[in-house]
């Protein structure tokens, strides 16, 4: 068997940006971590704009307003208006508007990023179940306390609608990885026995809102989490980039199920402008070549035959090989150099 398939002569590979009219970028883990911009991210997004590709930003973080997010991004040297930011509170409020009468009183669990959107939509805000709210809307804020969750529980026991901005289990902050809104939603769910309607990733509502706002025809979504970013992009029918600067790394990519597999895997956002190498399979489908990296499935083992010059090419080859095999990751012995 020839482990090193002869290269076919072909045109130069396309880049992830070819044919894209709008980039939709996640924030935490893609553009910045805490107060710090991620290396190469700002330069790459600025270059995309100069090249005529619109850039919008999608965030599940419900604790800040679109104005605050735009100011944060502008501080890194990007040119961002509030309109360029699509937040999970905005998507959640759109869902809320279809569930209750206009002008209703809404019990809000969350901070200014959520209350501001609820009020902009013409609803009244309360924090007390005794005010007989028409619905509960819940989002993350560092100040959310047990008393807030209790009020939501009291109100939801009356049978009113419940909308959540997002259900991320974790949130990256300067000190590390902290519990996210999903943990708080789960606490209320445990008390009331029902689940909310969700506006943010991985649900389609936030992607649909972004497509409509930017009139996107061929968007490309960039994220760092498979369970929210990539699953959501796939549900929305968008091509996606998974960038290895945030939460999920090689281990998670190798184990990704069919719903959470990205179109492209990049080390960092400079790769948006670089030719993206095609994966070539051997005739028996047991060997994958990307660039100069060659990875083989032999029995239950995923082996590196030739490491090549790029660790991300090895990861691309191994991911493609595992995904194409249809075999679960727990039934395979993966060479440590592919994920460590």
Which pLDDT tens digit goes with each residue over 138-183?
Answer: 999 999 999 999 999 999 999 999 999 999 888 877 788 889 999 9
Q: Are 93 and 152 in the same domain?
A: yes
313 part of the active site: no
Which of the residues 18, 26, 148, 284 is marked catalytic?
Answer: 26
Do 257 and 231 fall within a single domain? Answer: yes
Q: At 264, list the tokens.
A: 């492209």
- Count: domains in the chain: 3
The pLDDT confidence band at residue 12, using thresholds 50, 70 and 90, is: low
Is 127 a member of any domain?
Answer: yes
User: Are residues 220 and 263 located together in one domain of the fold?
Assistant: yes
Choose one of 173, 198, 223: the last residue of a domain: 198
| 18 counts as catalytic | no
State the chain's mean pLDDT as an integer.
94
Instruction: Label the pairing between strands 22-25 and 32-33.
Output: unpaired
Regarding whether 319 and 246 lie in a shared domain, the answer is: no
Domain boundary among the residues 178, 198, 218 is at 198
Confidence class for position 6, pLDDT limits 50, 70, 90:
very low
CATH number for 162: 3.40.50.1000
Helix (H, G, I), strand (E, B) or coil at 125: strand
Same domain, 184 and 256: no
Taking residues 58-63, report their average pLDDT: 92
Amino acid 5: pLDDT: 44
Q: Are residues 179 and 232 in the same domain?
A: no
pLDDT beyond 90 at 236: yes
264-280 average pLDDT score: 98
The confidence score (pLDDT) of residue 122 equals 98
118 and 185 assigned to the same domain: yes
Contact 253, 226 (CB under 8 A): yes
pLDDT (mean) for 279-300: 97
11 in any annotated domain: no
Q: Residue 3 falls within a domain, yes or no?
A: no
Helix axes 181-192, 146-156, angle to 10 degrees: 40
Residue 335 and residue 296: Cα distance in Å, rounded? Answer: 10
Cα distance between residue 69 and residue 72, in whole Å: 5
> Could you give the dihedral angle defined by the CA atoms of residues 143, 185, 90 and 147, in that order, rounded to the nearest 10 degrees?
-40
Long-range CB pairs of 186-194, under 8 A, 24+ apart, other chains included? 187/149, 188/109, 188/138, 188/149, 188/152, 188/153, 188/156, 188/162, 191/149, 191/153, 192/153, 192/156, 192/157, 192/162, 194/156, 194/162
**pLDDT confidence of residue 1:** 40
Selection from 310, 312, 306, 301 nearest residue 336 by Cα: 301
In a domain, 79, yes or no: no
User: What is the domain range of residue 227?
Assistant: 22-60+202-273
Instruction: Quick: pLDDT tens for 170-181.
Output: 887 778 888 999
> Which residue among the candidates 28, 84, 224, 313 is catalytic per the annotation?
28
Based on the domain organization, do 177 and 212 belong to the same domain? no
Is the pTM higher than 0.85? The answer reads: yes
Say whether both 156 and 228 belong to one domain.
Answer: no
Domain finish residue from 221, 246, 273: 273
């Amino acid at each position: 068997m020839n482990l090193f398939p002869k290269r076919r002569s072909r045109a130069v590979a396309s880049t992830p940006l070819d044919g894209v009219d709008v980039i939709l970028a996640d924030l935490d883990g893609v553009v910045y971590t805490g107060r710090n911009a991620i290396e190469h991210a700002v330069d790459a997004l600025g270059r995309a704009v100069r090249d005529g590709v619109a850039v919008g930003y999608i965030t599940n973080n419900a604790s800040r307003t679109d104005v605050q997010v735009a100011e944060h991004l502008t501080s890194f040297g990007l040119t961002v208006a509030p309109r360029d930011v699509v937040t999970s509170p905005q998507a959640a409020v759109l869902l809320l508007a279809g569930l209750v009468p206009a002008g209703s009183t809404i019990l809000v669990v969350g901070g200014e990023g959520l209350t501001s959107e609820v009020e902009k939509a013409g609803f009244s805000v309360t924090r007390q179940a005794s005010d007989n709210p028409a619905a509960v809307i819940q989002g993350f804020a560092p100040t959310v306390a047990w008393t807030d969750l209790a009020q939501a529980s009291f109100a939801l026991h009356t049978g009113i609608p419940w909308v959540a901005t997002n259900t991320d289990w974790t949130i990256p902050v300067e000190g590390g990885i902290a519990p996210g809104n999903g943990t708080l939603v789960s606490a209320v769910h445990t008390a009331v026995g029902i689940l909310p309607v969700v506006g943010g990733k991985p649900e389609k509502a936030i992607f649909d809102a972004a497509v409509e706002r930017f009139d996107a025809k061929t968007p490309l979504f960039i994220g760092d989490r498979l369970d929210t970013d990539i699953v959501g992009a796939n549900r929305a029918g968008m091509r996606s980039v998974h960038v290895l600067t945030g939460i999920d790394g090689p281990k998670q990519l190798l184990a990704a199920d069919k719903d959470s597999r990205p179109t492209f895997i990049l080390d960092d956002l400079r790769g948006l402008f670089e030719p993206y190498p095609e994966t070539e399979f051997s005739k028996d489908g047991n060997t994958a070549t990307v660039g100069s990296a060659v990875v083989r499935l032999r029995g239950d083992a995923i082996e590196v035959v030739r490491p090549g010059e790029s660790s991300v090419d090895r990861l691309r080859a191994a991911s493609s090989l595992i995904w194409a095999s249809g075999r679960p990751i727990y039934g395979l012995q993966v060479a440590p150099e592919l994920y460590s």
